Amino acid sequence: MSEEAADFVDVMLDQWRRERPDLDLSPMGVFARLARLTRMVEDAVEEVFRLHGLRQGEFDVLAALRRSGAPYTMIPSELSAVLMTSRAGMTSRLDRLEAAGLVERNLDPADRRSFQIVLTDKGREVIDATLTDHAANLAGLAEGLTPEDAATLNRIVRGLLGALS
């Protein structure tokens, strides 16, 4: 072990090494730490969204519409594909967002059987304010990393995701 202070994962791995010295459980340490980090980040992110009256999925829809550029319009199947969610799940998100006045459903002039989802002015205000707080929150969570460490971690995680996809 390095000069860094031992954490709960180090303790767990030491116990397993004692009990099962025949196994290489070092990957367990990586994934246990990633899982703990994920839970901590999710909790912090959800708190910011909650302060703006949003859930993660609702934020995702508003963010997809906002980053699509003016006129901030997409059809539900595009949103489902971009957000990798079922159409049924997308419908419930859109219902909640429409009820809150953050999006509107308009008939698609190109296909009268389909709807366009449009970000309202209120929706744009909410997503812009939420994104500002979200970005600040993430920056605070990443304060312990140097820019070089952040770039290295990003490269490593991207590579691992690519290998697992």
One domain for residues 86 and 100: yes
46 in the same domain as 35: yes
Confidence (pTM): 0.85
Same domain, yes or no: 46 and 101: no
Instruction: For residues 104 and 36, state if they share a domain.
Output: no
Q: Are residues 26 and 61 in the same domain?
A: no
59: domain CATH number is 1.10.10.10
Answer whether residue 162 is part of any domain: no
Q: Is the domain of 58 the same as that of 123?
A: yes
Tell me, yes or no, whether 38 and 94 share the same domain.
no
Residues 125, 62: one domain? Answer: yes
Best CA proximity match to 102, nearest among 73, 72, 122: 122
Handedness of CA 26, 32, 33, 35 (dihedral sign): positive
What residues make up the domain containing 76?
54-130
Let me know the angle formed at the C-alpha of 135 by 47 and 165, rounded to the nearest 5 degrees.
Answer: 90
Query: How many structural domains compose the chain?
Result: 2
Residue 141: pLDDT band by 50, 70, 90 thresholds?
very high
Concatenating the DSSP letter of every residue in 90-125 gives HHHHHHHHHHTTSEEEEEETTEEEEEEEEE-HHHHH
CB under 8 Å to 29, separation ≥6 — which residues? 9, 10, 13
With H, G, I as helix, E, B as strand and everything else as coil, classify residue 74: strand
Tens of pLDDT along 59-93?
Answer: 999 999 999 999 999 999 899 999 999 888 899 99
Q: Is the pLDDT of residue 4 over 80?
A: no
pLDDT above 80 for 150: yes
